[in-house]
Amino acid sequence: MITYENQIFHAQTANTSYLIRVQEGGYLENLYYGSKIRQAGSYDALFEKNATGYGNTNVTPSDAKRTLDNLCLEYSFAGTGDYRHAPLLLQMPDFGFSNDFRYDSHDIYDGTYRENTGTEMPYAKGNGEFYREEITTLDITLKDSVYPVFLHLIYTLFTKSDIISRRVKIENRSDEPIVISKVMSLMLDLPDTDYILHTFDGLWVKERHENKKSLVSGLYVNDSTTGSSSNRHNPFIFLSKANCTEEQGECIGVNLIYSGNHYEAIEVSEHGKLRIMSGINPFMFAWTLAAGDSFYTPEAVLSYSSSGQNGLSHNMHSFVSEHIITPARAKKERPVLINNWEATYFDFNESKLISIAKDAKELGIEMLVLDDGWFGSRSDDTSSLGDWTVNEKKLGGSLSKLTGRINKLGLKFGLWFEPEMISEKSRLFEQHPDWAVRSPNRAAYIGRNQFVLDLTRSEVRDYIVTSFSEVLSGASVEYVKWDMNRHLSDAYSIGLGTRQGEFYHRYIKGVYEVMDRITAAFPKILFESCSAGGNRFDLAMLCYMPQIWTSDNTDANERTYIQEGTSFGYPLSTMTSHISAVPNHQTLRSTSLETRFNVACFGVLGYEIDITKLTKAEKTVISAQVAFYKEHRSLFQFGTFSRIESDNNHVIWQVVSEDQKEAVVLFYQRSAVPNPGSDVLKVKGLLPDEVYEVTTRKQFISIKQFGNLVNQVSPVPITEEGVIQSVINKVYMLESEKEEYQAYGDLLMHAGIKLAQQFCGTGYNESLRVMGDYSSRLYVIKSISDHENKSGEGVSNG
């Protein structure tokens, strides 16, 4: 709900309030953002009190007591005496950078922003098939005090998820062009600064690791300049109060529906105020707005929670699932797939693919994805990007013949593409060398032997759509992995002439246009976004493609950091997670097959391993994993995810069903502790009065783990590393301990389960939990109130 009374806007979501005051002279003061407060006749208590100017700061022309430098403003303008960093740098018709936008009018209406489709940008959708909630939009128009240039501050409330989206439209109604060199989608000034800033940073194979900084005076920037949202700094950030935990305390999160260069700045001013901004990165940005034209920023997303970090994540998760993911894909279960990349890299042929498919089918896997190397003459990463013609020699015939064979085996088929790229060694490059992004007359910087295609040009976009569509319409392809493997450099388009400052933004708009056209033409295909792993993990990609390849790093230990970091802003259904071989190809670390699964199942599961080379024992393990995942698939993909604990040695995650009657909990241990104490497993989000049964997922433990203690677990004498052990290893694995409890939800949440004792070096028996380094268990929690315990009698624990 949004009201406007006595010059005050009061926007309320389910649990939050946002208040803006239109001050005399049309200045917009932010009065409050936080836990919901009631609608009241007067909010004088929240007004900034101006009794005199401050020392040598400047005051407004109409009020000598008012210093904008110390006001919580809704948006700030260069040249007006507010010396904090400005969200807008605009060269006005007189070429000056000063401007002064003041309140002119406003509009409040139901639903999302009316001009959404005209923005040519992805945006949060309104109500889908599954979700109904109150959505309201406020459009405040500001007008420059001199020129007919207008600025719209647009707010959309997604009430149930406690999300307020923000963005800006600039309308040039003057007769002269104006130049935008910075325009933030969101600016939020807060009256306090005791926050910790959380950012999600990394590089290739180490994306979105959480980093925390306690704020002191000055400016903090989180941004990307790679042309994509990047693996370096994700556009999702949040601020938490110092005492905030996963379950309690206040935090504010910000994200941007944008895949290009983004920019988030946090400024602690000397007056003790905090400014948050988010928008397109001003780096190499200069946009000429012709007379009569408008510019729309990307939509930014803001959320406040007083229920800790998990509370904030839950707001973000429900918003993404309900308003970012296309409704046709919302709640639609995703298949368990096998991808041939790490199994074969470029070295595959038809018979190899068919053998993988046959074994995959036996293990319960549902789809085969053919990764890089199926087109042109590509047998390594030096050629053929852009030549989207099937390599029939390698595939043993046409793509439709191959997909026919795969389908006949009972598997769906998926295909990898990298549409935005061109190899120097390709027919396309021979024909159109100027389609590659590079600066004229300069030696080009190259990434993975390839160039980026100039998607600012319509003929390039048309080529991608046509060549891509031809492949997709010729065969039964039900999934596409849309990759993008290099950062942009040498930003330049011959189509842009003197307006090269528009390159990056026009490039990403070009990507959106192509994605829009292709996904609309193939609505039945499940698209997965990828960019050298998770280099473009952002809300805009999710508007087109419901899932993203989280990282090229499939090492289970590393994945706990990556998936946990990602989970702060994005739900499990968006993260794809694969089980690969050991030693892991990115870290050379070995983790057990069960641990690789236990971490990967928190997301959309797949395998990326040469299953034709697995032992019988490994195949038994994998079929059990796939069956378990399928049984709990909707929980893993659409349940409510919470981080329960994450310290130096343990990671505990949980996913709970919407009705709170079912949950799965991961207990992960990074390294074995000698002579350990007991581990207590406390969970969240259950119904206190419900009776639950807790069981351990049956896991298999390799007897190799026991080294020369193998005879403690083997019924027959074995020599370590001897022939018998190696034969036994291939066919036999030890079953993990069994734990089973019945308990009320309150016990499980407040007291917790003391788990079975860990192996501690004094012999083995079946009641011990054999863990070790990089080890884990899954606990399944299921309500039995309606079944076994109908009598209402007490439950026995143990």
Whether residue 450 contacts residue 486, with contact meaning beta carbons closer than 8 Å, is answered with: yes
Our CB check for ligand GLA shows the closer of 478 and 502 to be 478
Residues of span 512-551 touching ligand GLA by CB under 6 A:
530, 532-533, 549
Pick 140 or 385: Cβ nearer ligand GLA: 385
Considering only residues 290 to 349 of the shown chain, the ones binding ligand GLA according to CB under 6 A are: 341
Q: Fill in the per-residue mask, 414 to 433: x = in contact with ligand GLA (CB under 6 A), - = not in contact.
A: --x-----------------
Q: Is 555 in the site for ligand GLA (CB under 6 A)?
A: no
CA atoms within 13 A on the CB side of 758: 20
The rounded distance, in Å, linking the Cα atoms of 591 and 598 is 11
List CB contacts of 441: < 8 A, sequence separation 6 or more: none
Q: How far apart are CA 393 and CA 454, in angstroms?
A: 31
In the chain, the amino acid numbered 521 is A
**Placement of tokens 């940005």 in the chain:** 285
> From CA 410, how far away is CA 672, in angstroms rounded?
42
- Shortest Å, Cβ 341 to ligand GLA: 5
659 has catalytic annotation: no
Q: By CB under 6 A, name the one of 171, 267, 366, 372 that touches ligand GLA.
A: 372
**Encoded tokens for 432:** 């159109």
Active-site residue, from 372, 454, 552, 610: 552
Select 371 or 558, whichever has its Cβ closest to ligand GLA: 371
SS3 of 62-110: the string is CECCCCHHHCCECCCCCCCCCCCCCCEEEECCCCCCCCCEEEEEEEEEE
Exactly one of 223, 387, 483, 610 is catalytic; name it: 483
CB 149 within 8 A of CB 92: yes
Query: Least distance (Å) from ligand GLA to the CB of residue 494?
Result: 28
Closest-CA residue to 182 (of 297, 301, 300):
297
Query: CB-wise, 416 or 544, nearer to ligand GLA?
Result: 416
Spatial distance between the Cα atoms of 35 and 361, rounded to a whole number of angstroms: 51
Question: What does the H/E/C string look like for 725-751?
Answer: HHHHHHHCCEECCCCEEEEEHHHHHHH
In angstroms, what is the minimal distance from the CB of 235 to ligand GLA? Answer: 20
Residue from 663, 665, 636 nearest 650 by CA:
665
Q: Which CB atom, from 250 or from 371, has the smaller least distance to ligand GLA?
A: 371
> Interface residues for ligand GLA in 59-98 (CB under 6 A)?
none
Burial class (CB in 10 A: 0-12, 13-18, 19+), 791: exposed
**Residue pair 134/160 in contact by the 8 Å Cβ criterion:** yes
Taking alpha carbons only, the member of 772, 773, 683 closest to residue 247 is 683
Q: How far is the CB of 563 from ligand GLA (least distance, A)?
A: 16
Task: Give CA–CA dist 202/198, Å, rounded.
Answer: 13
Tracing tokens 């609309």 back to the chain, one arrives at: 520
> Which of residues 532 and 621 has its CB atom nearest to ligand GLA in the complex?
532
Q: Measuring CA to CA, which residue among 677, 668, 648, 685 is closest to residue 756?
A: 677
Q: Is 552 in the site for ligand GLA (CB under 6 A)?
A: yes
Taking the complex as a whole, how short is the minimal distance between the CB of residue 553 and ligand GLA, in angstroms?
Answer: 10
Q: Which is nearer to ligand GLA, 188 or 385 (CB)?
A: 385
Pick out residues in 688-707 that bind ligand GLA (CB under 6 A): none
- Amino acid sitting at position 664: V
483 catalytic residue (yes or no) = yes
Q: Which is nearer to ligand GLA, 154 or 532 (CB)?
A: 532
DSSP letters for 357-401? HHHHHHHT--EEEE-S-SBTT-SSTTB-TT---B-HHHHTS-HHH
How far apart are the C-alpha atoms of 191 and 271, rounded to whole Å?
9
Find out whether 273 and 235 touch, Cβ atoms under 8 Å: no
- Closest by CA position to 440, among listed 454, 461, 425, 421: 454
User: Least separation, in Å, of the C-beta of 484 and ligand GLA?
Assistant: 9
Residue 485 binds ligand GLA (CB under 6 A) = yes
| Structure tokens that stand for 302 in this block | 């803001």
Q: Does residue 662 belong to the site contacting ligand GLA (CB under 6 A)?
A: no
Q: Which residue is nearest to ligand GLA (CB)?
A: 372
Report the alpha-carbon distance of residue 686 to residue 644 in Å, rounded. 13
* Total residues binding ligand GLA (CB under 6 A): 11
Per DSSP, the three-state class of 587 is coil
Would you say 103 or 570 has its CB closer to ligand GLA? 570
How far is residue 534's CA from residue 142's CA, in Å, rounded to a whole number? Answer: 39
Nearer to ligand GLA, 46 or 446 (CB): 446
CB of 338 to ligand GLA, least distance (A): 13
The minimum distance between CB 698 and ligand GLA, in angstroms, equals 31
- Contact status, residue 522 vs residue 465, Cβ threshold 8 Å: no
In angstroms and rounded to an integer, the radius of gyration of the C-alpha atoms of the chain is 28
Q: Which is nearer to ligand GLA, 319 or 479 (CB)?
A: 479
By C-alpha distance, which of 596, 497, 578 is closest to 534? 578
Q: Give the shortest CB-487-to-ligand GLA separation in angstroms.
A: 13
Residue 598 CB, nearest distance to ligand GLA (Å)? 22
Provide CB contacts within 8 A for 176, sequence distance 6+. Answer: 93, 291
> DSSP code of 45?
G
What residue type is assigned to position 192 of the chain? D
Which CB sits closer to ligand GLA, 205 or 239? Answer: 205
**Rounded distance, CA 548 to CA 529, Å?**
5
CA angle 755, 759, 762 (to 5 degrees): 135
CB distance 550 to 576 below 8 Å = yes
Question: Does the footprint of ligand GLA cover residue 387 (CB under 6 A)?
Answer: no
Please tell me the distance from the alpha carbon of residue 257 to that of residue 325, in angstroms, as a whole number: 12
By the rule CB under 6 A, 561 interacts with ligand GLA: no
Closer residue to ligand GLA (CB): 69 or 371: 371
Both tokens of 226, joined, read 């790679």
In whole angstroms, the minimum distance from the beta carbon of 259 to ligand GLA comes to 16
Q: How far is the CB of 586 from ligand GLA (least distance, A)?
A: 11
Under the binding rule (CB under 6 A), the answer on residue 483 touching ligand GLA is yes
Closest distance to ligand GLA from the beta carbon of 483 (Å)? 5
Chosen residue from 139, 246, 371, 387 binding ligand GLA by CB under 6 A: 371
Site string for ligand GLA, 33-52 (x = CB under 6 A): --------------------
Q: In what order do the strands lie in the sheet with 640-646?
A: 640-646, 650-656, 662-669, 775-783, 691-696, 740-744
Catalytic residues: 483, 552
Interface contacts to ligand GLA, rule CB under 6 A: 341, 371-372, 416, 483, 485, 530, 532-533, 549, 552
